[in-house]
Chains A and B, each alone.
Chain A
Amino acid sequence: MKDRVALVASGALLLYVIAMTALVPLGPGLIALEPVEATPLQRFEVVGLGTHFAGQTTQTRVFVGQPGAVWEWRVLEARDNSRLLVEAVWPEKLKSKSLDVFVYHPTDGTLLLENALHVDHLPVDAATAFPPLSQPIPSGDGLGLHFPFQPQIFESIRNLLWHVPMWFTMFLLAGIGFVASIRQLGSNRLLPADGQAEAASRVALFFGLLGLITGSIWARFTWGTWWVDDPQLNGALVTVLVYGGYSVLRASLEDAMLRARLASAYNLFAFVILVILLLILPRFSESLHPGKGGNPGFNAYDLDSTLRLVFYPAVVGWGLLGWVLYRLGLRMDLVTRWMESLDPPLDPGPSTTPNSPLP
């Protein structure tokens, strides 16, 4: 009964996640600030993605600078929805050679492109501070529900709702298996915990594979290759291999008690490897993976309410699905054992074969 509730809840949550993944658009963002060929340092084009520059151009404003030293540029015209022609205004000296660009548009809200431009023609003084803008940079936008724009990641940000909860689910099930294995290892008898450890590790392996596949597809479209040499990825692959090894170990043992003991010992080993390789080591090494080593990741989205609106249900939904699969595995094993106890074994064995064809 409880399992059925979990199944229905997980189904509803995952349907919601699928719908939101497919339906919620990506918010607008800036890609580049390109100088116009004939007039360097005077005219620039702001290049956006998913922006609405063509409308309400008169209310669009462009700001340039560094924190504490921001000034405004003049908007000339919108070439189309994603290209805005602006005229540069230069102060006498700069706070830094590297400039951020902000664009305010009534529909898109305020968009930021960090380190958009590098200028060499003006003196730099780190103490430079400009007076506050006469009209402050407005906030708020006229967009509906949308996913945040992230450089490089773009539309693939939706993978956060699939890939990351899948790994969380894997950790959850590996943890269940770990606890069950400790219980089995502390006993001299065959406990139900052994079956629980097996079922949990099986589902953990399944979710680990799903995590690898979704990660690989994401990498193909974001990094350009199916796989890169990266501590986080190596750790993930090794963890999945270790849990695969657990299945092989179980399959290679006939005696139930010996299997329970060896498999639980190996499972403890596997879980520690998982914790070391996926949760500890990547924190000490440089990684390209989002959320690691200064790359945009979940931390950067922490404050984005739209993503949270889907991410938390996704975590619960995938976790419940893992739990349901785990319970289903347990029941399947139970039914299999029950059927084996009902039927005579298929191979009656040598004692009941009177006429063997072999001499």
Chain B
Amino acid sequence: MNGRRRHGVAVLLLHTFRTELRKAHGWMGLGLFALSSVYAAYRSVGPRAEAGTWNALVWLVLMFSAFNALARPLADDVREVRQYHMHLLRPQDWIVARTLYHGILLTALACCVWVAFAVFMGTTHFEGTRFFWMLLGMVVTAWSLAGAITLLSALAARAGAGFGLTAVLGIPLVVPILLLSARFGQAVISGLGAAEKWESLLFLGTFGGGAAAMGFVLFPYLWRE
């Protein structure tokens, strides 16, 4: 049973990647959105942003890019495909695979955003290990967002409403994540000890993990016809 379940998750995850990578306009659109957001931020505050501004902008851009990615319905969200999956898969497999997919997608997106920020706005505030701390924070934030929003985006997709509904349902959950991330960024900038940083990361992970666990429990109810 357990073996079959892992199998289901893996197959579904691979399938999602295959179908999504085939649609080049989808992921290229996400990347383009992220890059142009960074560029717009760069043009509006200039190359020598204050540390605080830098910190706020990087999380805001990550949040909007992530939202763009999470709210977009996938090829599998078509009603017919869903009904086909309903006969083959357990709903838990589906939500786990979707959360993993979102997590991986957002990690890639977070790395893109971070590199774009480093290129355009410079890394004067993030020399040495701070650079990697910040990258780690962005990756954890990406996973936390994926965990918290996947259920809601599945819910919105099920309701047949698109971006708008995911935004309305998801933004409130993003606020605490954004606050925690910004606190983490402040801790990195001001060079606080590792304990403070790990504490923020732990809170982020717990929040995302808790929301994902609720999604795991609740999703089978959304899945039924």
Q: Which residues on A are within 8 Å of B, measured CB to CB?
A: 185, 188, 234-235, 237-239, 241-242, 244-245, 248-249, 252-253, 258, 261-262, 264-266, 268-269, 272-273, 276-277, 281
Contact = CB atoms under 8 A, between A and B. Distances in A.
B172 A265 contact: no
Contacts of A188: 224
Contacts of B210: 272, 276
Nearest to B175: A238
Interface in B181-225: 207, 210-211, 214, 218-219, 221-222, 224
A194 to B, nearest CB: 13
Given A242-B173, A245-B172, A265 B179 contact: no
B161 interface: yes
B222 A248 contact: no
Nearest to B218: A265
B159 A258 contact: yes
B173 A273 contact: yes
B175 A248 contact: no
Contact of A241 (B152, B175, B218): B175
Interface of B: 151-152, 155, 158-159, 161, 165, 168-169, 171-173, 175-176, 179, 207, 210-211, 214, 218-219, 221-222, 224
Nearest to A250: B159
A261 B214 contact: no
Given A253-B159, A262-B158, A262-B159, A238 B214 contact: no
A18 B58 CA distance: 48
Given A234-B176, A238-B173, 11 more contacts: A185-B221, A234-B175, A238-B172, A242-B173, A248-B165, A248-B168, A249-B168, A261-B221, A266-B152, A269-B218, A277-B176
Contacts, number: 68
A241 B210 CA distance: 19
| Best-surrounded residue of A249, A265, A277 (most CB of chain B within 10 A) | A265
Contact of B168 (A245, A253, A273, A277): A245
B52 to A, nearest CB: 13
B5 to A, nearest CB: 22
B143 to A, nearest CB: 18
A190 to B, nearest CB: 14
A234 B155 CA distance: 25
A272 B221 CA distance: 17
Nearest to B207: A276
B172 A252 contact: no
Given A266-B169, A268-B218, A272-B214, A238 B176 contact: yes
Contacts of B171: 241
Contacts of A241: 171-172, 175
A151 to B, nearest CB: 29
B155 A265 contact: yes
A273 B168 CA distance: 15
Contact of A234 (B165, B168, B179, B207): B179
22 contacts: A185-B218, A188-B224, A234-B176, A238-B172, A238-B176, A239-B172, A244-B168, A245-B168, A248-B165, A249-B155, A261-B224, A262-B159, A262-B222, A266-B155, A266-B169, A268-B218, A269-B211, A272-B210, A273-B172, A273-B173, A276-B207, A276-B210
Contacts of B214: 268-269, 272
B219 to A, nearest CB: 8
Nearest to A264: B221
